[in-house]
Structure 1
Amino acid sequence: MKLNISTIRSAKPKAKPYKLSDGKGLFLLVNKNGSKWWRFSYRFNNKQKTLSMGVFPDTGLAEARRKVDQARQLIADGKDPAEKRKEAKAKKMGADAFETIARKWINTQSNEWSESHTKSVIVSLEQNIFPQIGHEPIKDITPLRLITVLRQIESRGSLEMLKKVRQRCNAIFVYAKIHGLIESNPAEGLSQVLQSHKPKNYNSINIKELPELITAINSYPLEPTTKAGLQVALYTFQRTNEIRGAQWHEFDLDTGLWTIPAERMKMKREHIVPLSKQVIKVLKDLYPITGHYPFVFASSHKPQTQPFSENAMLYALYRMGFHGRMTVHGFRHLASTTLNELGYDGRHIEKQLSHEDKNAVRGAYNKAEYLPARNKMMQEWADFVDNAHTGKVIPINSKAN
């Protein structure tokens, strides 16, 4: 049913933002604070996208519909309306505007970033920096001007975002300086006058609590995919997104190797994960359930097209009584700490965690580095975990071979 002015004006805010649809992808987003934003939802190159169409009442219903008709025509012509808007904005701003230079820097760096990280960088700048100084010539931005903008993030208490945005601004100004667009970097040294972010400590149990965790995973009534995901996380200590996005074609159960493609890795580098006998069994047991779908940990609602939710494993830990005690990221901390204490080679552990040395002097990236040693380490870790289930968590004083 199409909207009318009366319906729009009478729409009241609720506890959560909600949508009022007008058809053809146009909807009105009513926010908790009462503001009303026009949005256009569309698909382009098999990706779902949303484009702002203005704020009511500054942009009326008729104007919002006219903008949607224009956007739909662009899509029919094979053009992405979001990209066309960015191009028009860049032309209007000028070639030396901060946002123009920033987007050139992003295009250069995106070859080394995952798609999700690239999107995160763009969003952080679009929300925190571009509205303030995006239109200003980059050579005119002074340290005082930049710090005034960054102070707004600081005042919200968003110190982690402040650190990320400050570092990204610094990289943009370095890029501009290298290309002769500025003589000095106004972001240099700003960390000394801004509040610092204290890294978040992910909750993780200690090794003595491992038997309790394993018992809970094995005995608690969970979806088969969720239980298998937790077991794989425990045995391989890979990241949540690497596990939930796993597809069957990435696994070679005969050789016991899981090859995670570069586009799914945080550092955009292919990563090889040795599989213990225990992991292979978990996957073989799961295959009759999800083997006919692309995703190993397929969603129960849309198994043909998507994996389980990003919080499926975390919420399972909560339900099992580990809220505030353990996270999926905590598996990585638990394994890293334990293996280091057991005397395993730190290089092998870091490689398994996909913590790569960024120092190019050390040579080309080697996805199979330390693979024989890591094969041995991962099987011994899986055996250690299984022994823990029987209550045999005993510190080993001698160095691991």
Structure 2
Amino acid sequence: MALTELEIRAAKAVEKPLKLFDGGGLYLLVTPGGGRWWRLKYRYEGKERGISLGVYPDVSLKRARICRDDARRMIAEGIDPSARRQADKNARAVTFELVANEWLELQAKKLAPVTLSKARWMISEFVLPHIGSRPIHKVTPADVLAALRPIEARGKHETAHRTKQYVGQIFRYAVATSRAERDITADLRGALTPATTKNHAAVTDPVAIGALLRAIDGYCGQPVTHAALKLAPLVFVRPGELRHAEWSEINFDATEWRIPGERMKMGDPHIVPLATQAMRILRDMHQLTGRSRYVFPSLRTSARPMSENTINAALRRLGYGTDEMTGHGFRAMASTCLNEQGWHPDLIELQLAHSERNKVRAAYNRATRMVERRKMMQAWADYLDVLRISSDLKK
């Protein structure tokens, strides 16, 4: 016979546990200590099994019957309620933060340190406080959008889009590892304010370039900073690649700088042919910092490279505002002028270390165009010398 609330409240176990059956495998286990536990016993694949359905009165008789009926429907569909419960428990333990940290560890083998650092910062600063503790399979597009809206509200539209991109990559990793069904950020297409592309400020007019080079020559700050300023236009690498340069990467005999892939934005090793002007600067620097790991060590300790703000701060001291010239602007300077001078775009793109979508073509270019790149880099250094001494040079 089915149980009643009156029977349950009146039941007492004196010496050993008492079982009060309700039907369909559901029973209430009353302990000598006064505990009342709902249990369900069932058979699955020929074996008797059981699960707990909660404690009375937190789980009422009516609620216990609903749980029993749900479990029996699972059995009818070929699902073991106990296994399903364990799977749900495991899924709850797989939080977004757990998967995000796994993904970041994998990226540490691919991304340049600066890029990886930015990814870690964006995820920890903007995403984890909102959805980090949520089971990843429970996170909705609305949850992600709620994390991105505060970034938008600050006018950081590009940061919002980049953060969304990282979240999407984490979800795709979760899909690949069977912990999410799809990348839910696809549903956010068009939900964010479009990011306006902002180019790095750069001096590209030949007369203005000459003035900048003369200003650099007259810089009165630290010798290490001065040398970095002079080398930057000759090699036009990314600021992070320049300040992290190590003496072990400089080959004085081959007159080239080999940057390992883990320090490059695109993850591929990069060779910078060094013109005679660049070699002169590096030889002078070797006398000053050659015993340290870094070509341009920090002013505080040789165990670290110079600060990421050093070059930009030096340009400000020279009178160049943020809307006129930046450390990254030396790349735009070289790209603009070399294209105007008629150098092949492939050579310029290779030397800028931009991504080549066609991997076969990329490998071919890296292997066969070094002679041309050396010629271009020396011609570029010679051209800068001309601009430096020509105060009234016209295009």
Q: Which residue is 2:376 aligned to?
A: 377
| Change over 3 Å in CA distance of 1:361–1:137 after alignment to 2 | farther
TM-score for the superposition, normalised by structure 2: 0.71
- 2:375 alignment partner AA: K
- 1:158 alignment partner AA: K
User: For structure 1, which runs of at least 5 residues remain unmatched after alignment?
Assistant: 1-90, 396-401
| Change over 3 Å in CA distance of 1:188–1:322 after alignment to 2 | same
Residue 292 of structure 2 is aligned to residue 266 of structure 1: no
Residues of 2 paired with 1:118 and 1:206: CA distance?
Answer: 31
- Residues 86-115 of structure 1 show CA distances to partners (whole Å, capped at 9, x for unaligned) of xxxxx9984432222222332333321123
User: For structure 2, which runs of at least 5 residues remain unmatched after alignment?
Assistant: 1-88
Q: Which residue is 2:155 aligned to?
A: 157
Residues of 1 paired with 2:95 and 2:364: CA distance?
Answer: 36
CA deviation after TM superposition for structure 1 residue 217, in Å: 1.1
Backbone CA RMSD of aligned residues: 2.4
| Change over 3 Å in CA distance of 1:220–1:140 after alignment to 2 | closer
CA deviation after TM superposition for structure 1 residue 184, in Å: 3.6
Q: Which residue is 1:139 aligned to?
A: 137
Correspondence list, 1:381-396, <5 A:
381-391=380-390, 393-395=393-395
Residues of 1 paired with 2:158 and 2:129: CA distance?
Answer: 20
Correspondence list, 1:227-238, <5 A:
227-238=226-237
Moved more, 318-327 or 273-282: 318-327
- 2:175 alignment partner AA: K
| Change over 3 Å in CA distance of 1:298–1:139 after alignment to 2 | closer
Correspondence list, 1:17-96, <5 A:
94-96=92-94
| Change over 3 Å in CA distance of 1:225–1:338 after alignment to 2 | same
- 2:285 alignment partner AA: L
- Residues 224-245 of structure 1 show CA distances to partners (whole Å, capped at 9, x for unaligned) of 2222111110111112221222
Q: Which residue is 1:198 aligned to?
A: 196
Correspondence list, 1:335-374, <5 A:
335-360=334-359, 362=361, 364=363, 368=367, 370-374=369-373
CA deviation after TM superposition for structure 1 residue 357, in Å: 1.4
Moved more, 345-354 or 143-152: 143-152
Residues of 1 paired with 2:360 and 2:93: CA distance?
Answer: 35
- Residues 176-208 of structure 1 show CA distances to partners (whole Å, capped at 9, x for unaligned) of 333443334321041312112223321111322
- Asked whether the equivalents of residues 263 and 269 of structure 1 are also in contact (C-alpha less than 8 Å), the reply is yes
Pairing partner for 1:102 from 83, 100, 110: 100
CA deviation after TM superposition for structure 1 residue 134, in Å: 1.8
The number of residue pairs the alignment matches comes to: 304
Percentage of pairs with the same residue: 37
TM-score for the superposition, normalised by structure 1: 0.70
- Asked whether the equivalents of residues 258 and 273 of structure 1 are also in contact (C-alpha less than 8 Å), the reply is yes
Pairing partner for 1:187 from 185, 192, 196: 185
CA deviation after TM superposition for structure 1 residue 317, in Å: 1.2
- Asked whether the equivalents of residues 96 and 135 of structure 2 are also in contact (C-alpha less than 8 Å), the reply is yes
Q: Which residue is 1:220 aligned to?
A: 219
| Change over 3 Å in CA distance of 1:370–1:263 after alignment to 2 | same
Moved more, 228-237 or 259-268: 259-268
- Asked whether the equivalents of residues 204 and 334 of structure 1 are also in contact (C-alpha less than 8 Å), the reply is yes
| Change over 3 Å in CA distance of 1:308–1:336 after alignment to 2 | same
Residues of 1 paired with 2:117 and 2:91: CA distance?
Answer: 22
Q: Secondary structure at the match of 2:328?
A: helix
| Change over 3 Å in CA distance of 1:285–1:146 after alignment to 2 | closer
| Change over 3 Å in CA distance of 1:394–1:248 after alignment to 2 | same
- Asked whether the equivalents of residues 272 and 368 of structure 1 are also in contact (C-alpha less than 8 Å), the reply is no
Q: Secondary structure at the match of 2:184?
A: coil
- Asked whether the equivalents of residues 94 and 100 of structure 1 are also in contact (C-alpha less than 8 Å), the reply is no
Q: Which residue is 1:246 aligned to?
A: 245
Residues of 2 paired with 1:298 and 1:146: CA distance?
Answer: 40
Q: Secondary structure at the match of 1:129?
A: helix
Q: Which residue is 1:117 aligned to?
A: 115
Larger Rg: 2
Residues of 2 paired with 1:145 and 1:298: CA distance?
Answer: 43
